[in-house]
Copies of this chain bind each other. A is one copy, B any other.
Amino acid sequence: MQIVIPIFERITPLDAIGPYEVLGRLPGVDLRFAAVEAGPVRVDGNALELVADASLDELPRPDVVVVPGGYGTRPRVRDQRIVEWLRDVHEHTTWTTSVCTGALLLGEAGILDGLEATTHWTQLEKLRDYGATPASRRVVEQGKVITAAGVSAGIDMALTLAARLAGDTVAQAAQLYIEYDPEPPFDSGSLAKAPPEVIELLRGEAAKRDAAA
């Protein structure tokens, strides 16, 4: 079974690497990172590059696709060749999934039309532009399409997907391998839980970054 994670300039690397650590260990899985052209892409925040061994064109028939997010998904900067690849491969996938603003790429490819979907909380209402109904859940499954909320939600989504692909015991083993037994020191990980001053701080920063993206 082939799983492809497309990567691109200004990716949020945890969106891709979280699912990799869960799905890359499943028995019988051939997991590939691919970019429009094989080679390096620079992550959001500019601190390092990720290098894809393959181009998207080399991988026209993945069984599973996991689309990460990042500023590189925004309309003014995204590469339309990823959107076209997604539109093509989705016809044949078993599962088409996204993490964070990867959902904007699925939306642009027409994959979310008529579905419930989620994305990073700052972009949730934008899903309506693609005919989707925003859902404030961490993982939203609709037929073969699964969308996850922001960044770290990709880990939860990948565990859900691992169970579908390889059964509960193997998925639980993946969880134990990555010791995913979260104990965050704060309970501030969602809009419903974070203190108002934290939300205000972030909304201001996100608006500034989106304006600059």
Contacts and interface: CB of A to CB of B under 8 A. Distances in A.
Interface in A183-202: 183-191, 193-195, 197-199, 201-202
Interface string A38-81: 00100001011111110000000000000000000000000000
A102 to B, nearest CB: 13
Interface in A11-31: 12-14, 17-18, 20-21, 24-25, 31
Interface residues of A, number: 70
Nearest to A40: B51
A181 B193 contact: yes
Quick one: copies of this chain in the complex? 2
A14 B21 contact: yes
Contacts of A169: 195, 197-198, 201
A31 B46 CA distance: 10
A95 interface: no
A182 interface: yes
A156 B177 contact: no
Given A48-B50, A155-B152, A184 B180 contact: yes
Nearest to A14: B21
A121 B179 CA distance: 8
A45 B20 CA distance: 9
B152 A182 contact: yes
Interface in A132-171: 138-139, 149-153, 155-156, 159-160, 163, 168-171
A152 B159 CA distance: 13
A176 interface: yes
Interface of A: 7, 12-14, 17-18, 20-21, 24-25, 31-33, 40, 45, 47-53, 100, 120-121, 138-139, 149-153, 155-156, 159-160, 163, 168-173, 175-191, 193-195, 197-199, 201-202, 205-206
Nearest 9 A/B pairs, CB to CB: A181-B189, A150-B179, A172-B188, A49-B51, A182-B182, A151-B178, A181-B190, A180-B189, A17-B17
